[in-house]
Amino acid sequence: MAPGIYSDRHLANDLKQLYSYACQICETVLEIPGGIRFASVAHIRGLELPHSGPDTLSNMLCLCPNHQALFKFGSITIEDDLRVIDQTDGEEIGVLLVRHDIDLEHIRYHREHHKFGHQKLRDQLS
C-alpha cells in the first residue's frame, strides 16, 4: 500500500468497520433510521498545526461524538495502560477498547498537550 493513495476517509471507514461503529471509550453505537450506524474518528495527535500528527490508523480512535469532542479538547486523556481519565475530576472512566495498533507516542503527546491546571494545583497540594 503506497502512502498517500488511501484518503483519510477510507482509513476512517476501515476503523469504524473494525469497531462496528462502537465508541472505544463507552462502546455506544449510534443508530440512525434505516439501520445506518454513526461514529466519529478522532486523530489522537491532531493533523493540524502545530501538532502535525500523521494520517494513519495508529493515530486514530473510533469514538461517539461526545467522546470525540471531549478527547479533542483534552477533557479526557488516555494512560499508557489504556485507562481513560476524565481530566475534569481526575476519575478513571474505563479502559479503552482496542482492536487496532495504537501508537503510544501519540497517546502520550495528546496527554502531555492537555495537562490541565487543576492537576498541577492538586500535585502542589498533595
Asked if 62 interacts with Zn ion (CB under 5 A), we say no
Asked if 25 interacts with Zn ion (CB under 5 A), we say yes
Looking at beta carbons only, is 96 or 104 nearer to Zn ion? 96
Q: Applying CB under 5 A, which part among 3-11, 25-33, 48-56, 111-119 lies near Zn ion?
A: 25-33
Asked if 93 interacts with Zn ion (CB under 5 A), we say no
CB atoms within 10 A of CB 24: 27
Q: How many residues does the chain have?
A: 126
CB 37 to Zn ion: min, Å = 13
Task: Kindly identify the residues of this chain, within the stretch 29-58, that bind Zn ion according to CB under 5 A.
Answer: none
Asked if 84 interacts with Zn ion (CB under 5 A), we say no
Q: Applying CB under 5 A, which part among 16-24, 29-37, 47-55, 118-126 lies near Zn ion?
A: 16-24
Asked if 111 interacts with Zn ion (CB under 5 A), we say no
C-alpha pair distances (Å), 49 with each of 45, 46, 52, 54, 104: 10, 8, 5, 11, 20
Looking at beta carbons only, is 91 or 123 nearer to Zn ion? 91
Burial readout 25-59 (b: 16 or more C-beta within 10 A, e: otherwise): beeeeeeeeeeeeebbbbbbbbeeeeeebeeebeb
d(CA 113, CA 18): 28
